[in-house]
Amino acid sequence: MDQKVQGNFQPNIQKPSDEQYFKYKLLVENELGLDWSKEKKYLLHGRLNARLFELGINYDQYYDLLINDQETKEKELFYNFVTTNKTEFFREPSIFLWIRDNILPPLREQIVSGKKKKIRFWSAGCSSGEEAYSLSFETHAMAGMLSHEKEPYRILATDINTQAIVSAYKGIYSHELVKNLPQSVLNKFFVPVPSNDGRSKLFVIKDFIKNLIQFRVLNFLDEHYPIATQFDIILCRNVLYYFKEEVRKVVFEKMLGYLNPGGYLILSGTETGYRTRTAEKIRPNIFRKTN
């Protein structure tokens, strides 16, 4: 009979040995591309501790369960446990300001002139959705001037973490997560609702914004991405950092292949040093597709 974690009780499973950890290290490197050093042993233990206690098994038994998981249900949970999902609305505000000033006006002019019918964005590694929604908020003012166009922009938002994707799709955020947003943004794009305990408020993304975003599970290590769209902006921030170096290069070039000519790939402000022949480096972390 499975053991269950009750209340605030913190289970204490024995930490993995170096040999056990190495097996998991290879697994996440091969299937997720993550760069795990020996120091990541604490992360594995911290994130799997409760699950192993719940199942009543040890690290070796759980590894065998993952390897033999034909339906991939447990492996999906494992991916959720070991991937990092840290984000916030308008994270790195200077990047959104740069998009507002340098990318959106020319895109709008292309729509107005008839050179372009649709604008497409991709939030790659979207976590719980704040980045995709922030991009939509920023674009909405421009789209509002294009009232003659039906859905002039659409956003694809992807992540490997299924729990994060479900959360993003629901678009429900605590007061803590939206407290730094201007009141005008809250009024325009969110509906406040009482929480289950009735003591605090939750904020739900309005449907007219939510309906313009498609959330989808995607593994960057997949040979072929299930994407038929070319994009005008790809935001992939604080994602490549977690990959092995050789994986970073492959994913970086792969994403450039999904840009329209003139489209932009935007990394985080700390992700620099990338080079490519297919895009012009506008800033250390911003690339513009040249062909």
Tens digits of residue pLDDT in 175-196? 999 999 999 999 999 999 988 7
Please give the structure tokens belonging to residue 283.
Answer: 């800033």
- Residue-wise pLDDT for 114-164, tens only, equals 888 889 999 999 999 999 999 999 998 776 544 445 667 899 999 999 999
Say which range, 75-84, 144-153, 164-173, has the weakest mean pLDDT. 144-153
107 shares its domain with 185: yes
Query: Could you say which DSSP state residue 103 is in?
Result: I
Q: Do residue 132 and residue 162 come from a single domain?
A: yes
- Specify the CATH number for the domain of residue 73: 1.10.155.10
Q: What is the pLDDT of residues 253-287, one digit of tens each?
A: 999 999 999 999 999 988 888 889 899 999 999 99
Asked whether 180 and 240 are in contact (CB, 8 A), the reply is no
Tens digits of residue pLDDT in 215-247: 999 999 998 899 999 999 999 999 998 898 899
Residue 132 to residue 137: CA distance in whole angstroms: 9
Of the candidates 40, 62, 82, which is a domain's last residue? 82
Q: How many domains does the chain fold into?
A: 2
Radius of gyration (C-alpha) of the chain in whole angstroms: 21
CA–CA distance, 158 with 235 (Å, rounded to integer): 11
Based on the fold, state whether residues 260 and 282 are members of the same structural domain.
yes
Q: Which domain holds residue 110?
A: 93-289
8 A C-beta contact, residue 248 and residue 239: no
Could you identify the residue written with the tokens 């033999």?
68
**147, 60: one domain:** no
Is pTM, for the whole model, over 0.95? no
